[in-house]
Structures are given as structure tokens and as C-alpha cells.
A and B are shown apart, each in its own frame.
Chain A
Amino acid sequence: MKFTLSWLHDHLETTATVGEICATLNRIGLEVEHVEQLGAQLEPFRTARIIEAVRHPNADRLQVCKVDTGPETGEVQVVCGAPNARAGIAVIFAPPGTYVPGLDTTIKAGKIRGEVSGGMLCSLRELGLGQETGGIAELPEDTLPGESYADFAGLDDTVIEIAITPNRGDALSVYGIARDLAAAGLGNLRPFLADTVEGTFESPLRWSISYPEACPWVLGRMVRDVKNGPAPQWLRDRLESIGLRSVSALVDITNLFTFDLGRPLHVFDARRIKGDTLTICRGANETIRALDGKDYIVTAEDCVIADGAGVQSVAGIMGGAETQVTDDTTDVFVECALFDPVHIALTGRRLGISSDARYRFERGVDQAMPVAALEAATRLIMDLCGGEASNVVSAGAQPHWQRNAKLRFERIAALGGLEIGQDEAVEILGHLGFEAKSRDEVSVTVAVPSWRNDVAQPVVLDPASTLSAERCMTLEKSVARIEPECDLIEEILRIRGLDQIAAVPLPPVSVVPGAAMTPARARVALARRVLAARGLMETIGFSFVAHDEAEKFGPAPESLRLLNPIAADLDQMRPTPLPGLLAAARRNTARGWPDLALFEIGAGFAEDGQTTIAAGLRAGRSPRRPGEAGETMTFLTAKADATDVLLSLGISPDALTTATEAPAWYHPGRSGVLRLGPKTVLAAFGELHPSLLRDAGFDAPVVAFEVFPDLIGDPKRRRKAAPDLSALQPVRRDFAFLAERDTPVEAVLRAARGAERTLITSVSLFDIYEDSKLPDGQKSIGIEVTLQPHDTSLTDAGIEEVSEKIVAAVFRATNATLRS
């Protein structure tokens, strides 16, 4: 909402500066977005008078003028080419250094054909103010030299643009803003008064309402024998100052009422209306060409105004082209109505029309103003366009907007935290139009003014479906008591200023607060740190990816496809963060990044809900070093990433089983899952599928992992048993087994580990090799077993006994035999 300072002064008697006005607007909830000093660019231009003008000795078309530029700068010689430059006239003078907007140049002092010229005499076009071409501008004879031209011409206005929140339909007018500022103590509101214009004839047009839910009340009257044409200068200036285009006197009058009073009007060319009745009714799938030149189809949900020939206006939103006023209009019919905000909002949205009228009607206009507004509009039409007015015709009735709101004074502090005197509170409400109806020591009941559609509204709840009907009734009654009070407290607080409320620390729940994170959330935070500490860089990708990409990484059901994606390649909720990571890897690789390690912890979406996935990816080669050639990534790194995360989250690697059941987006032979127990898959890892990598433009392996922290239970707070710190030396023994080539090493290690429970404390792999010297299809697996004696040292016989158990257990589990 834009307005000028001078326009505001029409409604607000104040001596406040622009700075004070803006600070107050911000305080009371009318946020200032932009302030523009209109005359700022014209600041250097001064009024002046030509004392003497003689022909330039070296140029026929130039004159050398002696110019009185006022008491400060005195007499200046200026060379001027304008044909009307002559002694005695008052002019606009630009001293050296002035930027001339119409010429886009800065004036310099100098010599023109040998004669000194200390400035420039300007036309209005050169000031960017008009199109006149008859030479330099001539100011009135009595002009005093040396004044600011902007001040002189009244161009020193200020345009203020404010953001109006959706609840404040009453502030969508200069008058409404003035009312708020007056209540905030910035001056006195000049009341809006409208003279009655007596009708001199019976209106040939009548109203009829068949859609009262959308339009409860409509007024109208005819003004005949008008002369439409350009609006007078003051009206054009006023509209243009806030960025509106002047159309014609009649149209400009409706726009003036929209912005001045927040009261949209519509004018029909009465001669183009067929029949004698304008009906406010539902649309019937007709097409109407609106004032913006576009065609709209109105449905039974939309409220329209129709005459004998059909739909002539999208009611309260935009008039029709067929009946619009033109310069030829002689009889005009003025419409002034109330429309239901919800109907207006829905129709406006359905048809996609934004208009100043819709904007106001959907936020609610003054329920009581139509009569006075129509009188004032009639008066202005007759003043500017002549003609005579009919009687006022109407349909429907003024809705019952009168209602009260009660405020318990103690609630201002108890809810709002503001200490304020009772009288002051009542006074603030009074200034805003909330008239006190009754008052006692503890409360006041006020009448809500007709323009405050946001206060003490009927309660509409949308309670949770789990609440009983009885409970909902109780709650609704509570809201009906509390909400109007909150509305009033809000008014008092914003007018008084929220900075008047003392800041109070929140009462502590306990001196030392408990954990802010749930264990699940803390697990995610820890996993994030572990992965970053392993050298992976955390990224955040969009939760939606291209449907085709998503499909490569799991189910991409239609139920998780956006109905209105912002781009075709951002339409599917991702099943895992991996597609985004792969795309990121591709971008970074294309930029020449040699070794990538990225991860993201975020949601993966599936039909049965979302889960947290810690996904990561490594691409490229490890850096070269002396003695290290720089290796491509192998699944082992990804397995280590996943295992390390799980270890930090309390899952011992010994408790995990590796299985070759990784999802389809991994290389089928170089991937796996880490399973806890028989079913729970805690992680997947491996090389990404080569065909997927080929599509993404990678020619070297990319390895990836996905860890599912949601599946890990909360840690049990169990006291740990004391560790067995034996004083005896452990014994380490190496075993080399000959196993079938496809025997999983894990099976050998697990069998050895389980061969003897009291002595074996660890089993580790130190060697795997395949060689032509080995029997066909076999591999050698070297493991080291640590035996920890507890009470007595191990004897050779004891060691031998355990060794035999190990060999037997490994053979049982894997058929592997000890190499001789």
C-alpha cells in the first residue's frame, strides 16, 4: 500500500516528520517497506531570473544571459540556446555539478564558443517532468530567485510504501492509516464526512440479489448527462504519485475511493446495460471479457453481476469490458456493495485475477460505509463531470456487524506482559474506534467498530478429529471468551508499542536442563560427526529429485510425486539421498575435483513413511603420495564408513553379519548389507552399479553406503561389568586355512572366534591370497587368534587343545582345512 505524505495530511492533522511517521508505522504493525523522497533528484535546481539577454558574439542561435540566481550565489553568466530566453522571465537554473535527469548528464562550468557559462537554464523535460518543447520553462512573474525548485513546485512530497498484514483490511486506505497513526498519538484524524446528494429522478436501474451469501448488500445510483474525459490535474497527480495510471475522470474517481477510503466502487456505462435490473447472482459457465481484456469463465461458485444480456461484472473483483465507461459515456451507474471475503478470495484465486478491489474485499471493508461513500462519490462525479443524480437504489440490507468485546484489565499484563493504566487502555481503544459500552473495576466492554472485521469474529474451530464433540463445545466456548480479549490486548500492545513490554527470562524448568535431543536425534548428530571426521563432506540436497532418477534408487510411487513441482526434474520425493549425492559428485567431478567424499543425513521417502538415512559416496582416486600411486575407490572404504558409523552408534562389528543382499543400485558382486540379527538391515554398502555410473558419466568406480539409524534402539543404561584385566601374557597363534574361493572370510573368522569362548579374545585376518600354487579354486586365509589365559599360564598342551578346536570349528563351518 503506497501513499504520499501530502495525501496523509488530508486525513491527519500532524506536525510529525517523515522519520517519526515511519517509526510509528513500524511500531503499530504497518511495516514500512520503502520511503522515497520525490523531489530528491531535483534538489539542486533553483529558481532564477534572467536580468539581461544578448546575442552571443560568435553564434546566432545562442544568447548570453546574466542570471540572478538568488542571494546566495548572486549573478551568473549563462549561455543559453532556448528561443524564449529573454530578460525579465523567471526560470529554472541548474548550477555546475547538477545532474540533469532528462539529459542524463552533469552540468560543468566552462566556455561555450568563447563565452563563460556558469550553469544551465532548463526546460521541464530536462528535469524529467514533462514534454513541453518551447524552450526553457517560464515560471510565474512573481517568482523569487534562489528557492529550491522542488519546494517551489510542490514536488517535495514523500512516497511511503507499507506492507499491510492480511488481517488489516481497515488499513488498506490512506484514511485508515491516518486513523491508526492518530490513535498512536501522532496527530488528529480529520473525520470523513459526506454530504448527501438529493436524487432528482427515479433510477431507471434496479438491484436484485439472488446470491446473498456472496453479497449481502448493494447500493447504486445513476448520474446522467455527465461528461467524462481526462481527470483534473490534482486527481491525476494523486494517483500517479502512488504509481497508478490515470484513465478518465470517472475511473479515477473509483480508484481514488479505493485508495483514499478503502472503498472499492464500480461504474457502469448505464446506456450499455440491457434491461432495467442488475442481478447479483451465481455464474453459469458464461464467458466474460473483463476490464483487463481477458476472458474468464464464471461458474456457479462465482458471484457475478448480470443484466438482461448476461454477465457484466465479476462482482467485487473486476468489471466487464462491455459495460465499462468511456469518454463517450453520458449516463453512469455507480455500484457500491459489500461482498463476502471468502467468496471473493475463492473466486479471485479460481480465476487468477488480482485487483485492488479483490484485495480489499477479501480482507473485509467497512461494513457501515457504503451509504456515505456512495454519497461522496456522487458528489465528486457531479463536481468533476457534471450531470444530475438519481435516487439511491439498493438490495439486501446492511449486515448486522455490531458486536462487543470484553477485556479484563489484568489480562493485559497476564498475557501481554504490559503494565498499563486502565484509563490509558480504554483511551487507546477509544481512539481506534472501540467505544466503551460498560466498565467496572476489573473490565471494560467495548463496541467493535464497523471497519474492524478482524476483531471478535465468530469462532470457527477445526479441532483434531480425536477430540470428543463435548470437549469441542467446551473449547469453543473458551475461545469465544478469550479471543476477543486477545484481539483487544493486541490493539493496546501495538499502539503502545511492543518495546514498552519488559523482557522477562523464561522461568527455568530445572537449574541444569536435561538433554535437548532425543536419543534418536543424538545418534544422527553423532553419525554426522563421525562421517565428517572420516573425511566426508556434509551436503544438503533437495528432498525431491527427478522421477526417473529416483526410480534408479528404489520405489518411486505416484503417491510420492508432487502434483505441482517447481521443475520437471524436482517432482519425486527421493527414496534415499543417494541420487542427489551422485548428481553432486558428477558436478564436482566436472569441475575437476579429483577425489570426492560426500555425505548427507536426511529423509528417504517411502509409501509407508519417511526414514532417516545417512548416505555417503566416494568417487575419484585417493591422493598420490610417495609410494602410493593413488587408488580408485573400493567397496572396502564404503564398508568401513558404514561400520564405523554403526560402531559409534553402539553396534559392535562382532554383532553384525555381512550378507550379499544389497539393493539393485549397487554392483551385484561388490556390495552387501550389514545385518543385526536375522532380519534387521542396518546398512548397505558397495560399488554403485556400473550401468548407473555409466549413465551419470563416471568411468571409475564410485562407492556408496546407506546407514539406517532409525532402526537402532535407544541405549540401555546398564552398568558395565568390571573388565577382566588378566596379569598373564596373551598368546597369539597364526593359522592358514585353505578354503573354497567363494568362502566368505567372515565365516572363517566367526567360526574361529566361536571355537572356544573363555580363552579366545580376538580373531583377526592378516592375509588372503590366491595363487597358482594353490589347488584350483581355492584361496588361503591367514588369521591370528589371541588367547588370553585368566588364572594360570597356558601350557603347550592347552594351546594345542584350543588350536584343534579352532581347526575343527572352521572346517565344520566352511570346509576349510589347515594348510600343511
Chain B
Amino acid sequence: MSDDVSILRQECLDALAAASGHRQWDEIRVSVLGKSGRLTGLLKQLGRMDASERKLRGAQLNRLRDELTRAIEARGDELEAAALDARLIAECVDISVPVPTGRRGGIHPVSQAVEEITAIFGAMGFAIAEGPDIETDWHNFSALNTPEHHSARTDHDTFYLPAEADGRNRVLRTQTSGVQIRTMLGNEPPIRIIAPGRTYRADHDATHSPMFHQCEGLVVDRNITLGHLKGCLIEFLRVFFGKPALPVRFRASYFPFTEPSMEVDIGWSRKTGEIGGGEDWLEVLGAGMVHPRVLANCGLDPEEWQGFAFGMGIERLSMLKNGIPDLRSFYESDVRWLQHYGTDPLTPALLHEGF
């Protein structure tokens, strides 16, 4: 390599190494490879040389041009990367600033419990039926084998509304049984329904609320036995409380609208409140085989049809499942309570996801 070429090479490489920014780099590129650059100038001189000299020097200059082009490109990339790094560092922000989370509201525990109850009974082939909160006393009592003088009727502290024009008494339903009556009147068996809803009794203290929620169920078919009642309710309670081995006890009892009637207890510990643990029993449900008079009042022949019915307090189930201590808190709409016990709307009760 002749001296001028090697000087050019060295000077160019030195200058590139020293270049600290895009502008300097571009100046070097132009000064070497540009139209009037030094290497370009040398290449232009080749034409005036004789063939042998031109061949030798041409090869030299072409190699140098290739080398410097690569070097300039490489340095250009380097400088660009460095410049980007510097810019990114300058752009840095405080990533600890909290973000608005799109805070979600909550589903009330009663709604959540109804959804769960619906999911479980739905899996057993039940469908929801609904009816009005204001019932005639026939739908709420008489059709259910609870005539005016019945002592069970005095146990219900019933809210009354002014009678209808035709003289029929109107009450706020004390149970959702009116829905059962309407279902039997309006549908041919087989029937398999649950009726969750608001119910009312004129009672207000620490353990009673004038309004609360019940879910009743009704199954009517030809060959439904008390064995099915037990199977159905044991299944429900174990899934609802998430305890596959939950002890369930059936105790003979009395309701005017079922016969035989029973109350259903689950095992729990009085001391710790743990469901399924301990030696104690806790009543959670009332149930029984539908009374022949109730079937007949609704036009179903008890020699042809039979079935079972049950009823449960939704708040009570929710309190047990979620450890909620006070019934009244359900209706006080205290945001702190709602945030604590409310559930995420994007986690509805889906059996296939589990709840």
C-alpha cells in the first residue's frame, strides 16, 4: 500500500473512532466517500494512469473503499445505537406512579349465593321460576294447606296490604311457595323448579329482618321418593359448601304443605363455626314430600303425581358459607361491607370454573 493510501486509511479510521455523533460521522463519510471526498479523488486519478500502474493502484483503492465503507457503516450503527441509548435514558419515567385500575364494583353476597344455588340446581335439571312479591293469601297460605285458623299461620308475621276490589286479601309473600303454586297450576308435570326471591315477615331484630330471601324448590313427577329428596339436597349442600364429605342429617318435622316433613341439618362446630367440622348440628333447610292437599289444590291428582319441596334462607346460607356475622348488615348498604363481602363481577358462579 502506498503511503498516501495508508495515510488516508489511518486518518479515516482514527477520525471515525474519534467521532462522537452523527454529524461528525457524516462529515467523515462525505470527506472520504463523498463526491469530492479524498478516496473518491484518488479513484478519479486512476484514469490518468497507465494500465499496469492503474491495475495495481485500482485494486488497492477498491479494497480500501470496501474496507472504509464497512468501517463507516459499522461506526454509523454504533453511533446510532449509542444515540438511541442516550435518548432512552433521557426519556426514563417514574414507573412507580400508580395507575387507575378501572376499579370494579362488587356483586352482593345474596346475588352471589342465588347464582351459586342456581348453578348447582341447574346442573340437576332445575329451572328458575318467579312470581310476584305481593300475593293473594290463597297463593301464600290457603293453597298450601294453611287455612285461616291454622296455627302455622300465626307463626308467620304477615304483612298485609289493602284487599283487592274483589275482596281477596293481599299479603307480602312470607315464603316463595306461591311460585310453586303458580307453577303447578300453569304446567303439566314433570316439574323441577327453584324459586329464589324476596320474602317478608313482620319481625325485626338481630336475627330477623322484615325482608329476606328464600329459595324454594319443587319436584313433581310420578316416581319421586323421599330418597330422591335426600339425594338432591345432600348433593346441593356438599357442592354449595365445597365439602364433599359434609355430614347431613334429616330430622322429622312438620310443615302444613309437606308430608312427611323434615328439617335438614349440616355438621359444624359451635366453637369454631367451621362447616363440616365438630360434633354439632346446624339447621339449614326445611323439606318434605308435597302434601296431597297442595297437589290437589293445584289440580294435580295425588294418586298420579308426587314429589318433594324444600326451602332455605339465602342470607343464612351466605352467612354460614362466608362467615358473615350479622343478618342486618346485608341491607345496610355500607360500602365498606359491600367491598369486603362483594364478589368480582367477572367471576360468576360457573360450575366448570369452580366456585
Binding site for B on A (CB under 8 A): 26-29, 31, 165-168, 341-342, 345-346, 349, 362-363, 413-418, 459-464, 466-467, 471, 474-476, 478-479, 481-483, 486-487, 489-490, 493-494, 498-499, 501-510, 513-518, 521, 525, 528-544, 558-567, 570, 573, 580-581, 584, 587-588, 591, 593, 596-599, 602-603, 605, 609-610, 623, 625-626
Contact = CB atoms under 8 A, between A and B. Distances in A.
Contacts of A507: 228
Interface string B316-334: 0000000000000011111
11 contacts: A504-B230, A505-B232, A509-B192, A516-B121, A528-B111, A530-B345, A535-B104, A540-B331, A573-B161, A598-B333, A610-B134
B208 to A, nearest CB: 10
A562 B185 CA distance: 28
Interface residues of B, number: 104
Given A471-B299, A505-B231, 7 more contacts: A415-B226, A415-B289, A478-B296, A499-B249, A560-B134, A566-B202, A610-B133
Contacts of A596: 335
The 5 closest A-B pairs by CB, nearest first: A516-B122, A417-B227, A165-B254, A29-B252, A584-B333
B76 interface: no
Contacts of B15: none
Given A539-B108, A539-B338, A506 B231 contact: yes
Interface in B202-223: 202-204, 210-211, 219, 223
A493 B335 contact: no
A508 B291 CA distance: 24
A417 B230 contact: yes
B240 interface: no
B119 A516 contact: yes
B301 A474 contact: yes
B143 A464 contact: yes
Given A417-B227, A561-B161, A499 B105 contact: no
A490 B252 contact: yes
B252 A493 contact: yes
B310 interface: no
Given A479-B293, A501-B227, A462 B299 contact: no
B128 A543 contact: no
Contact of A464 (B159, B172, B227, B299): B299
Interface string B135-174: 0001000110101011110110001111000000000100
Given A513-B123, A561-B162, A529 B107 contact: yes
Nearest to B255: A165
Contact of A28 (B204, B252, B332, B345): B252
Contacts of A341: 149
A573 B173 CA distance: 13
B335 A478 contact: no
B296 A461 contact: yes
Interface of B: 97, 100, 102-108, 110-111, 115, 118-119, 121-128, 130, 132-134, 138, 142-143, 145, 147, 149-152, 154-155, 159-162, 172, 181, 185, 190, 192, 194, 198, 200, 202-204, 210-211, 219, 223-232, 234-235, 249-254, 256, 259-263, 289, 291-293, 296-299, 301-303, 306, 330-335, 338-339, 342, 344-346, 348
A517 B104 CA distance: 25
Contacts of A490: 252, 259-261
Contacts of B234: 503
Given A498-B252, A501-B230, A542-B210, A482 B302 contact: yes
A462 B345 contact: no
A563 B202 CA distance: 11
B154 to A, nearest CB: 6
A598 B108 CA distance: 11
Contacts of B335: 537, 588, 593, 596, 598
A478 B292 contact: yes
A566 B253 contact: no
Nearest to B302: A482
A587 B204 contact: no
B292 A587 contact: no
Contacts of A417: 225-230
Contacts of A481: 303
Contact of A462 (B147, B303, B348): B147
A546 to B, nearest CB: 14
B344 to A, nearest CB: 8
A502 B299 contact: no
B240 to A, nearest CB: 15
Nearest to B145: A462
Nearest to B198: A543
Given A464-B299, A515-B127, A538 B338 contact: yes
B252 A562 contact: no
A644 to B, nearest CB: 13
Contact of B346 (A483, A533, A567): A533
Max count, chain A CB within 10 A of own CB: residue among B122, B152, B234, B296: B296
B254 A483 contact: no
A466 B185 CA distance: 9
A481 B172 CA distance: 34
A669 B95 CA distance: 43
A643 B97 CA distance: 32
B193 to A, nearest CB: 9
Contacts of A513: 122-125
A698 to B, nearest CB: 16
